[in-house]
Amino acid sequence: MKVDSVEFFYLAMPEVTTAADGSQDALVVRVTAGGFEGWGECEASPLPSIAAFVTPMSHGACRPVSASVLGETLDSPDDIRRMAAKIAYNSMDLLQAAHTWSGIEMAMWDGLGRARGVPTYQLLGYPKAYPKVPYASVLFGATPQQTLERALENRKAGFRAAKFGWAPFGASLASDIAHLDAAREGLGPEGILLIDAGQIFGEDVDAAAARLDAMERNRVTFFEEPFHGSAYRAYGALSKRTKTVKTAGGEAAHSRFMAEHLIDFGGVGYIQIDCGRIGGVGPAKDVADYAVKRGVTYINHTFTSNLALSASLQPYVGLADHRICEYPTGLQQLARDLTRNHIVPNANGEIVLPDGPGLAIDINPDALVQYRVDVEIKVGGKTLFSTPSY
């Protein structure tokens, strides 16, 4: 089969705020090849990602993503990897290319699975999918009391794990300790407690390390993104100062190299991969393989729709020992409406992939209409992109 079309649907809530909530908009991708179609989602800024697909060529090493995709043969996983390599080489100077390609790549694994009638994780080489323990991803409260209440709510909702993140964490040591104690109290002694610092410490290892005692005492499982995503030396220095707490990071990786470096040079204990950024499901599986080799735990990163959630689980769903998974709660209506079926914790409070071929998530076409953001891009008088109708 040949890749016949790649369509981008930019969707958004009527109002988008500065909250650290990635489900406020979406860039959904449909790929058709021969008789089949597949769906994916870029975890990316929609407009620049569309532009990276349609842009005119700048030179041989700065070609649009479309040049390495449209008309290409798509019969097997190897074809997807071949296209990925082509983009890495021919679009090496187009920075946004990895984010654009991520959604396309995901759609190809979905479509290929549907065409063959097998789930994507089987195409990736896993015979079996294991259940995961989801953590609820929530923001710290404005006060320790609020943090405690949120932890209690999550426990009541049946979550065995919760991740608290972002401001006010980092504001002051005393406040951070109070929030950590509150989170542990709310989760109870058995709850799995995770912390996401949202890069607040920049490269300041001492500032991050000052929180370690309170984290060890509260049995925090991982300490995510204390630093800028690329500050490997800072990660490496902090990782050496931990006892039981592990450092975690990797969500911004836009190539498998970046994730591998965070493991090798940053010493993280958990590597968090977003399939909507790293170049899709294939390189994420490569990172999972690498993590296994290095004794590091793989974990998905995702904060948009259940389509992206399903994609994010495929690369490590076959690894029984890599137990926890990110599970976005509090999604915006757009992200909930986007899919006909949803992934919800089962009676054991665990996440199991839906049965079915590909990513096994069905798109709801009504959402493509309801939340549609029209885009038109003209260059040199020619229309290069105009939002497709569904």
Number of residues that bind its own copies (CB under 8 A): 69
| Residues in region 9-48 near its own copies by CB under 8 A | 10, 12, 16-22, 24-25, 43-48
- Does the protein bind its own copies through residue 51 (CB under 8 A)? yes
- Does the protein bind its own copies through residue 287 (CB under 8 A)? no
Structure tokens at 283: 């390189």
Residues paired with 16 in a beta bridge: none
* Separation between Cα atoms, residue 61 and residue 26, nearest integer Å: 28
Q: How far apart are CB 236 and its own copies at their closest, in Å?
A: 10
Structure tokens at 282: 């294939």
What secondary structure does DSSP assign to 249-273, as a single string? E-TT-SSHHHHHHHHHTT--SEEEE
| Residues in region 196-235 near its own copies by CB under 8 A | 198-199, 228-233
Residues paired with 350 in a beta bridge: none
Per DSSP bridges, beta strands 324-327 and 297-300 are unpaired
Among 108, 192, 194, 252, which residue sits at the site for its own copies (rule: CB under 8 A)?
Answer: 252
* Separation between Cα atoms, residue 317 and residue 325, nearest integer Å: 10
Q: How far apart are CB 208 and its own copies at their closest, in Å?
A: 16
Answer for the pair 318, 130: CB distance below 8 angstroms, yes or no. Answer: yes
Q: How far apart are CB 49 and its own copies at their closest, in Å?
A: 8
Answer for the pair 86, 14: CB distance below 8 angstroms, yes or no. Answer: no
* Separation between Cα atoms, residue 275 and residue 196, nearest integer Å: 19
- Does the protein bind its own copies through residue 88 (CB under 8 A)? yes
Q: How far apart are CB 25 and its own copies at their closest, in Å?
A: 5
- Does the protein bind its own copies through residue 265 (CB under 8 A)? yes
Answer for the pair 20, 197: CB distance below 8 angstroms, yes or no. Answer: no
Q: Which stretch binds its own copies (CB under 8 A): 310-318, 322-330, 354-362, 372-380?
A: 372-380
Among 32, 37, 55, 360, which residue sits at the site for its own copies (rule: CB under 8 A)?
Answer: 55
Among 73, 76, 89, 388, which residue sits at the site for its own copies (rule: CB under 8 A)?
Answer: 89
* Separation between Cα atoms, residue 143 and residue 165, nearest integer Å: 13
Site residues, its own copies (CB under 8 A): 10, 12, 16-22, 24-25, 43-52, 54-64, 88-89, 92-96, 98-99, 198-199, 228-233, 252, 254-255, 257-258, 260-261, 264-265, 277, 373-381, 384
